Amino acid sequence: MMRGPAAAASGAGASFPGLAERLSLVESEIQEAAREAGRHAEDITTIVVTKFQPPGMVRALAQLGITNMGESRHQEALGKVAQLSDLGITWHFVGQVQGKKARQIASYARVIHSVDRVSVLDAIGSTERSTSVFLQLNLTDDPARGGVQFEDLPALAEYALSTPGIDVRGVMAVAPLGGDARGAFAQVAQASKRLQSVAPEATEISAGMSGDFREAILEGATHLRIGTAITGNRPSAG
C-alpha cells in the first residue's frame, strides 16, 4: 500500500505511516504488562523519546494525545522546543548532561532524568524555576555510561535534597546492553528503596525502553522512555 505525496501532505499523522498503530500496540503491551504485574497502567507515564526525529513527528504524536516527550541532545532539543511551543508538551531530558549546558537544559526541560553529579545539581538549582530530577544509576562498571554507582547514590541524594530548586523524583537507569534486563531492573528497584531511605518522597523509577519496558514494568517502573517502538527507526545521526 503506497502512500503518495498527496496523502503525506494531508495531515501530520499521514506523514508518519504506522505511527498511530505502533503507539496503540505499545500502549496495549503496557496495559498487559501492568496487568501481569498487578499494577494500574494509569500509574505508568510513557515518555516518547523523539531524538533524531523531525519536529513534525512530535506534532503528530501530540495530535495522538502524547504530552510527555523525551530528548537526549541539548542542541537538537532546543530547536524543537522553540518550534513546538504551542503544543503544551512536557519535555524530559534523558541524555547525558554536560555541566556547562545544564542550566540551559533546565530552562525547557521540566524533568531531567540523567543527573549523576553535584555540579549538574548546582547548575540546575541555580535557575529560577524548580526542576524535577531523577538520579541516574550506572548498572555497569564503565564510568562512560553515565550514572552513579549504587553505593554513591545516598550521598548524591542528600546533596540533591539540600539544593534549592531541585525536586528529587526518583532513580533512573538504562539496562546494560545484551544483559538480563529483569535482573538489572530488580537492582534498580533495590536502589529506589535505598534512595527512599534518604528521600522518602522520591518513589518514582524511570526505566524501560523499547526493548525492555515489560521487564521494567514488572520491576516497578513508573516512567518509561520509549523511542523506536513508537517512532519507528531513527533517521541516521547525520
Q: Toward ligand PLP, which CB reaches closer, 59 or 92? A: 92
* Beta strands in the chain, from DSSP E residues, in sequence order: 45-49, 68-71, 90-93, 111-115, 131-137, 166-173, 204-206, 223-226
Q: How far is the CB of 168 from ligand PLP (least distance, A)?
A: 18
What is the C-alpha to C-alpha distance for residues 9 and 166, in angstroms, rounded to an integer? 43
- Judged by CB, which is closer to ligand PLP: 11, or 79? 79
∠ CA 144-145-149, nearest 5°, is: 100
CB of 44 to ligand PLP, least distance (A): 15
Q: Whole-number minimum distance, CB 150 to ligand PLP, in Å?
A: 19
Give the nearer residue to ligand PLP in terms of CB position, either 80 or 225.
225
Q: In this structure, what DSSP letter does residue 175 have?
A: P
Which residue ranges make up the site for ligand PLP (CB under 6 A)?
49, 51, 72, 94-95, 174, 209-211, 225-229
Give the nearer residue to ligand PLP in terms of CB position, either 97 or 174: 174
Contacts of 155 (CB under 8 A, 6+ apart): none
Nearer to ligand PLP, 211 or 235 (CB): 211
By residue count, the chain amounts to: 238
Indicate the residue whose CB is closest to ligand PLP.
227
* Parallel, antiparallel or unpaired: strands 166-173 and 90-93: unpaired
Nearest one of 26, 97, 32, 22 to 60, comparing CA atoms? 22
**Residue 9 Cβ, how far from ligand PLP at the closest point, in Å?**
27
